[in-house]
Amino acid sequence: MMFTALALPNGSTLPNRLAKAAMEENMADAGQLPGPALNRLYQSWADGGAGLIITGNVMVDRRAMTGPGTVALEADTPLEPFRHWAQASRKQGAQVWMQINHPGRQVMANMGGNAWAPSAVALDMGKHSKLFAQPVEMSSAQIEEVITRFAATAHAAEQAGFDGVQIHAAHGYLISQFLSPLTNRRRDNWGGDLANRARLLLEVVRAVRARVSPGFCVSVKLNSADFQRGGFSEDDAKQVVLLLNELPVDLIELSGGSYESPAMQGRTVDGRTLAREAYFLEFARELAAVARMPVMTTGGIARKAVAEQVLASGVAVAGIATALAEVPDLPLQWRAGRDPAALPPPVTWKDKTMVSVAMMALVKRRLRALGNGAAQARRYSPLVTMLIGQFRLALLTRRYRAWLAAAG
């Protein structure tokens, strides 16, 4: 089943049911543009047999970035680097979608720029909280600006040759912040009940669809829950899916968590235990039953039997992330009857926040190695990798801040 085609609501087709899910690479060239390293990385996935390739998040506003090496695409950004990126990703016939995003409050304090949010509710990361910027409650004009920016970025992605976009409404980023009652305490028509909290997502979908052609795919990444007490719940997710059913959405990817509760790494703060593999399958199965569009789930899928279980459950697409950093041709290997070990060893430190940081650093180091042409996976020291990553981030932050100041 995993190697059968999937027809999407807009009439386009995925050649198979295995997707390379988004991972933040932090590998942008100067000017926050994609370059040769990203092209090589994505060609390795194109050659690896995935039917759908979703990029790491691309920012709709250069003043609000998840990291200093993140790619940004605005209305006036040069498109030629993006054309090369799309071409590299599509070489073997996969569809390539650009994940488009605004981080909201989830930006580092040393980055400068904006930390816009539905409400001025700071991240609670314990002793690490001060590393993040103090959020500012958005005005209605700023909300409208963000909607326009999502649409402009989607239009630019289509002009550059991408097959679709994925609107990031999960993992605690801006749209997810609007969805959660913990972070959205507004009393206007962008807050309060779920219909109002979901308004930003729905308006972004409408604005994006209005700027792109009918054959261009528009998808949404949504949390099945944010795994925080009093936050966005499974029932909320179901209601949002029902609202999205009324819009021309081609696929919903279900994940979970945020910086505060990194369920996408298999860990929650509200005490719930996730499955050891395919973390969100139970939620995805329930939501797929009410969704009119195909559903994809990502999180913990690294073995062929697990991917088959996901697809047999009624979920249309199995999203694979970390395993494709370790083994970029995993789909081809599964097709050939092989099932290689595809996950790095776990980090077992006591500080769970530092475990999350270390795991992300290990994945990003592996992505950089692939971008530099090193196909063979190596075992890296988590501590050394974190130190290398912090040094690199400091250099990239200096470069980004200088570019931001020059760009105005």
Rounded to whole angstroms, how far apart are CA atoms 83 and 51?
A: 19
Residue 358 lies in a domain: no
Highest average pLDDT, of 17-31, 104-118, 128-142, comes from: 17-31
Are 360 and 367 spatial neighbours (Cβ–Cβ below 8 Å)? no
Element of type H or E holding 88: helix 80-89
Please indicate, yes or no, if residue 59 is contained in any of the structural domains: yes
In a domain, 62, yes or no: yes
Q: Given this model, what pLDDT does residue 139 score?
A: 97
Question: Which residues lie closer than 8 Å to 72 by C-beta, 6 or more apart?
Answer: 28, 32, 58, 59, 60, 61, 62, 65
pLDDT at 224: 75
Range of the domain at 307: 6-345
The torsion region of residue 113 among left (phi > 0), alpha (psi -120 to 50) and beta comes to left
Which residues are paired to 95 by β-bridges? 52
3-28 mean pLDDT: 97
**Is a pLDDT exceeding 60 seen at residue 25?**
yes
Q: Look at residue 407 and tell me if it is in a domain.
A: no
Average pLDDT over residues 245-263: 79
**DSSP state at residue 214:** T
Q: Are 69 and 26 in contact (CB under 8 A)?
A: yes
Nearest to 153 by CA among 217, 229, 117, 101: 101
Average pLDDT, stretch 364-391?
A: 89
CATH of the domain at 173: 3.20.20.70
Within-domain flag for 254: yes
- Whole-prediction pTM value? 0.94
In a domain, 1, yes or no: no
Q: Per the structure, how many domains does the chain have?
A: 1
The position carrying tokens 């196909």 is: 375
Q: Residue 339 CB: number of other CB atoms within 10 A?
A: 13
Classified as helix, coil or strand, 319 is strand
